[in-house]
Chains A and B, each alone.
Chain A
């Protein structure tokens, strides 16, 4: 499922769910919501893998993100099917938590990976030193997100982890986009303070002329 459609799908489910009016949430809707979260998690894991260890995805390792991630995704799927959240908001709170855990787990495993491969690496021409910093940073970021105050943390996770649009989040939480925006800004400021000593990101290629 293309990620771009996920949020649209979520929006539709939100509408459907609202139509059901407090009755027991339809299993099909929950299933679809889980699907969209799973897709999103898959995407985030892939980003983490590709950006942290691009070398692992190339020969001779040929680590395919799919095989590495399928177990992660499987676990989320199982965990989410067990829980039966009463509201959509609850559902997303749980989903966010599980996704953070899974990402955390993946980051740890990636962190361990290079040392396990040290022997082979001795025969590699050079190491991707710039990227190796990414997973520890990811772990720290996840921890910082975890410890955000409740309101900010919820909005931040919905936008960042679930990849929802601000208007959708506003609908879900029954507030204005302005308020969502404000909470996001505040979350960012708190994160900036707590992560200010984060290692600088690897030098990225220069931005394209932004005003082109």
Chain B
């Protein structure tokens, strides 16, 4: 029975668990309960991934209603990869959150925090699992609404979390509403919301309404994934949210939005839609600008969390770049990038959270000479920093390598060489901001003797696991690259109208 319901299990489980979590006392219990749920969901999604690898895309009809009338969940390889990623991240971040949250939020909000976390988790998985366009909106909003609250909970430490959450709420809602307008226009033209149906009916159609819908949907998703000029909400939200929330959001929320973007670009619209080329050219330019501006601002920030928040804006640029190549190599590079960057950022933000736990500050000054005093955390920070830069033998190297390779293999509106130069140039900027942190940590003497609180093991283990994954994915990359290539192939085949994922 459970095997049959596998596609829906990771969505339903946290959703049901959330209210139960809210009823638990404000001790460590809700955190442990949430961790358990996330672990089960992660297990289910791994099973799902294996099943999809084995037997192709899965369909699950909600309530037993067949596709065009009911809501169908469809999980193809790309979806299974992202779902496994999100669930794994939750399974690692939630145990980390148990201790980290004790100091970072008001005690009476602990159970509410974990309930929100579970709802956010469920929403993100839902976006990935569903095959219904309107359902994507609902799940996006489920995850976003809980995210606003989670960010605002950082107010115990810094009240700016509140203004950050408010800005995020306004921009996120505008994004979601744009997305709904786009869906409405699409529905008007096709009379369906099922992605498979949409694709069939949109095939060969091209008029102003469909183009407007395309623009609305992409702008809406662009706001959600913090595409370069629409990224204003991201740095503050990431900086002032509790560490565990930042680690989770940075590794999943924008990635899921990227996945939704992939779905709408390739599964719903597809290559027969001529407007796509304009959008891709647009993405290349925005992606390159985002890479450059994000990295540049990151170099000049004093708050370490802020540095890596801006770095996230830059990294999203890389992923957009991969998507905009619109080749198997490009999209698979973007998928690998999504996974690798998620792992890297989770490790980074967990390490910064550990430093914050120990020192009570996340400013550059707090990291001065820290390598001697907190060698393990700093080790994790350095490893993940190197992975972010893309040093060989780390995860970042593989994803950047694939991206550069894809860029050279594609004929684009913007010369490939220029794109590659941009990738290399922004990597140099990444060396600058990561290098600055590493220099402060290792080569400078600490100023004053601030009491260092020992970091609990429950925080160190997930952090080290992520740091280990950063290296592991850089050495044993074959399986992920092959998997992503197959997933990208399926996506593009659907886009070309030659079958595949759907």
Chain A complexes with chain B: no
